[in-house]
Amino acid sequence: MRELITKMRWIKVVNIIILFTLGSSGAFAQEKLSSTYNALIDGHSNDLLIFETNGSFTREKGSSLGIKQISVGKYTFTEDELLIVNYNNKPVLLGYYKDRQNRITQNDSTFIVISIRDQETLEYIPLTNVILAGRKSGKVADHLGKCLFELENSEKYLVFEISHPGYHNLYVSVKNNGQHFIDIYLANKLTKGLPFIEARDTLDFSNSKMYLTSRRSGITWKKVE
C-alpha cells in the first residue's frame, strides 16, 4: 500500500513538472516587450526601436530637429531567444550623408567642405541651399555642388539644412571641431528612393536583453533606461 501511495506521489510530481515546463515554454513563446532601444551610432542622432506589448513595434529616426517615423511592423520571439522583426513596409533612404572628418584641432574654428550629389545618378547638384539651423544664415553651393564654411566653436554640434527644388530636404549634424569633408546625397522627389533595410530582420539579444544587434546591418541598439 505504501509503495502504491509513493508511486502515485511521484506521478503527481512528474505531472506538475511537465505542466510547469509546458507553461514556461508557452509563456516564452508569447513573451512581449515593452521597451525602447536606441542605436549605438551617435549620441546626437536617434535610431529608435520602440516595442509594444501587443506585438507591434515602430522604428524612428531623427536628430535634434525632431523624430520621424520610418516604419512599423510586428515582432516575434524564437525558442533560442532571437527576435524576428517584420516591417509592414520597406522604408527607403531619402537622402544621406558621409562625414569624412580629416582631423580634430584645438583651434577656435571649424572648417567644413560640403559636396552635394544626386543619390542615384551621383551627379553634382549646383545652386543647392545650405542653411545653418539656428543662425538663419547659409550659403548656396557653386556650379560643382560645393560650398565651404569656417565657423567658430561656440556650439558642440552644427546642424545644416540642405534643400534644392525637386529634392527631399536633408538635415546634417556635424561635431563643431576640426576639419570635415561632408558628402551629401539628396533624393529626387520623382524617384522612389533607395531601400536601406530589408522587410525582415533577425536581432540577437545580449547582456540580459540590454542590447539588440541586427544580423543584417550589424547595428546594435541599447535599451533606454
Give residue for cell 516595442: 51
Alpha-carbon distances, residue 216 vs 85, 86, 106, 196, 220 (angstroms) = 12, 13, 38, 11, 11
Alpha-carbon distances, residue 74 vs 28, 83, 89 (angstroms) = 17, 10, 11
Least confident of 187-191, 200-204, 216-220: 216-220
DSSP 135: T
Least confident of 13-22, 75-84, 133-142: 13-22
Least confident of 17-21, 111-115, 148-152: 17-21
Grid cell at residue 63? 536628430
Contact, 216 vs 199, CB < 8 A?
no
Whether pTM exceeds 0.85 = no
Q: What is the pLDDT of residue 20?
A: 39
Indicate the pairing of strand 220-223 with strand 211-214. antiparallel
The letter for the amino acid at 80 is D
Least confident of 65-69, 133-137, 190-194: 65-69
Q: Which of 69, 64, 34 is nearest to 48 (CA)?
A: 69
Cα–Cα dist 81/22, whole Å: 17
Provide φ and ψ at 199, rounded to 5°.
Answer: -75, -15
